Chains A and B, each alone.
Chain A
Amino acid sequence: MSSTTNYILGVYDDEDEVLHAVSEVKSKGIKIEDVFTPFPIHGLDRAVGHERTRLPIAAFMFGVLGLTCALSLISYTMVFDWPMIIGGKDFFALPNWIPVSFEGTVLFTAFGLVITFCISNNLYPGNQPDLLDLRITDDKFVMAINVDKNKKVSADDIKKALKDSGAIEVNVK
């Protein structure tokens, strides 16, 4: 999150409260950027209206890639480059390759997913976390509202809506 965006932050100290505050604030026509919590809250992603993650699609792609790589490597080495007879089977002995291809699929999927997840969340070595409020790593719940994306509602109305929904404090960042 770049420092040029303007955020209004509602700080809550109860998970149930923040869950209800989300629908309350949304009902006033305010778009919520995100809600930060120290632990996962059941149903919060749906309440905020986040789109479902597309990680499963990435997983499938990585799986197909892994399968292709594994089969290509084995067939190149065992059939085309240096054909070898193992156990009296054909050069192209597909059943023998299934376990390795399976491992290749799983390996590519697992590593690919972790890397994709880290990239999409800006998690890389040396990155300074850009926390809107340090207390979200402890015991507070923070609802962030992007002022620029809420042209129709004035900043004062947003602050009031947050206060009304049970925020213990409202900060601007």
Chain B
Amino acid sequence: MAGHSHFSPANVEEHFEFTSEGKKRVIYAFIAGIVALVLGIYLLSKGEAGGHEVANAGHEAVKAGHEAASEHLSGGAVSHQPAAEEHYDWTNRIWANVWLNAVFFTGIAIIGMFFVSLQYLTKSGWSSVMKRVPEAFPKFLYITLPILLLVFFFKGDAIFHWMHHGVTEVGNENYDKIIAGKSGYLNKTFFLVRLVGFFALWIGLWLVLRKKSLEEDLIGGTDLFTQLVRISTAFIVIFGASSSMFAWDWVMSIDTHWFSTMFGWYMFSSWHVTGLAVITLTILLLKDKGYMAYVNENHLHDLGKLMFAFSIFWTYVWFEQFLLIYYANMPEEIIYFLERWEGHNKIYKTSEILMVFLNFFFPFLVLMTRDAKRTRIFLKIAAFFIIVGHYIDFYQMIMPGVLGGHAGYGLVEFGMVTVFASAFIYIISDELTKASLIAKNHPFLPEAVHHDI
């Protein structure tokens, strides 16, 4: 087009430098997280030892209540006994936090791959200018996979009700008819096969995509683009199935008796909007450092729209799940929300309200106008609070089932999330240095540079 400055790929190569200053800062944050964590664990061990008797008395009352309920409602269908109530160990809170963060950050990492794949699958042009940022995210799967496996092997029974000793064994005092009925799917071997198998597929496809994408920088042409579209299609198909299964496995199976057919979408929507917020925030921080000059307010506007839209999508799925259960009011389903709303001395109620505020009302009102989506500071604030809000969302999904009344926000939570976040920043920054920040031979790059809305 006449009048536009002509775009020449030769001058766009741009390398992110992870300075020693930056490295130092991330490592300090990591150490601060570790210190907070250790302090938190120390306080936890003290605090729990002191208040044991009171806690025990509470347990008896809860147990009695449960028994009465299960007698009243046929066949023990509602004897929803969170893992925590029976043999609570104060270290469970640490493992619950590890699991929570591992699941949360796995989500962010894999959404990077999902975002890139979706752009290839739809042959979108606008995003090619920034695709190297989400493309680096799945590197963090290397960290979360061993952590998930570690927790599963050593402390799985602290997290999953279905892993308790004897729950599927007829005649055992822990025998649970409902869980035994689910043991065809929820057993250690099959769980492990799914976890490792899907991780292998995710990482494998990411490695191929990354390799082809870097090759494109050297060779160019459209052959590689077609191959990348094919890889992305394969990934989307696999991710469609695996994201749902992981939602059942990693989060829904904590409350083993309870189930929701919407849970897969619900967790995916939470992961997705968090991932979009992290992508946006990373791009904005890179821009602040003077990188990614080709990403202008038009691209940011699109990212803002995605965050806005998927915040509403999350609300839709979350509310839909709630509404159906609330309306039907079936004891075995409603217990999930009762537990979060008025159970355990209402310790989850504030989080639940705060979460809906941060994940719906806040982004909805802040990102509504066009100007807000084109202004960096608004996007930054919205993205930050979306991430915080969805951390709380995951907290609400995992903690009540694992810890029951023993959960809380303390140094352990703060330390653990700092450790994971700084590790994530370190790994992703390191991965970003390995390739040009702009995919200079992407066939749609000129289109992206002239993106104008």
Contacts and interface: CB of A to CB of B under 8 A. Distances in A.
A42 B452 contact: yes
B50 interface: no
Interface string B4-23: 00000000000000000000
A88 B323 contact: no
A84 B195 CA distance: 50
Contact of B327 (A16, A43, A52, A96): A96
Interface in A39-82: 42-43, 52, 56, 60
B361 interface: no
A42 B368 CA distance: 24
A42 B452 CA distance: 9
B368 A98 contact: no
Contact of B323 (A16, A42, A56, A99): A99
Contacts of B369: 56
Contacts of A43: 452
A43 B3 CA distance: 12
Contacts of B319: 95, 98
A96 B370 CA distance: 32
B323 A95 contact: yes
Nearest to A96: B327
A98 B323 contact: yes
Given A20-B3, A42-B452, A98-B319, A87 B327 contact: yes
Interface in B328-350: 329
A56 B322 contact: no
Contacts of A99: 323
A43 B319 CA distance: 40
A16 B4 CA distance: 12
B353 interface: no
Contacts of B2: 16, 20
B329 A88 contact: yes
Interface residues of B, number: 13
B326 interface: yes
Contacts of B327: 87, 95-96
Interface in B398-453: 452
Contact of A95 (B1, B3, B326, B368): B326
Contacts of A16: 1-3
A88 B326 CA distance: 11
Given A16-B2, A43-B452, A60-B368, A95 B322 contact: yes
B357 to A, nearest CB: 15
Contacts of A95: 319, 322-323, 326-327
Interface in B349-401: 368-370
A99 B323 CA distance: 10
Nearest to A52: B370
Interface string B301-334: 0000000000000000001001100110100000
Given A16-B2, A98-B323, A87 B329 contact: yes
Nearest to B3: A20
B378 to A, nearest CB: 16
Given A16-B2, A16-B3, A98-B319, 8 more contacts: A42-B452, A60-B368, A87-B327, A95-B319, A95-B323, A95-B326, A95-B327, A99-B323
Interface of A: 16, 19-20, 42-43, 52, 56, 60, 87-88, 95-96, 98-99
25 contacts: A16-B1, A16-B2, A16-B3, A19-B3, A20-B2, A20-B3, A42-B452, A43-B452, A52-B370, A56-B369, A56-B370, A60-B368, A87-B327, A87-B329, A88-B329, A95-B319, A95-B322, A95-B323, A95-B326, A95-B327, A96-B323, A96-B327, A98-B319, A98-B323, A99-B323
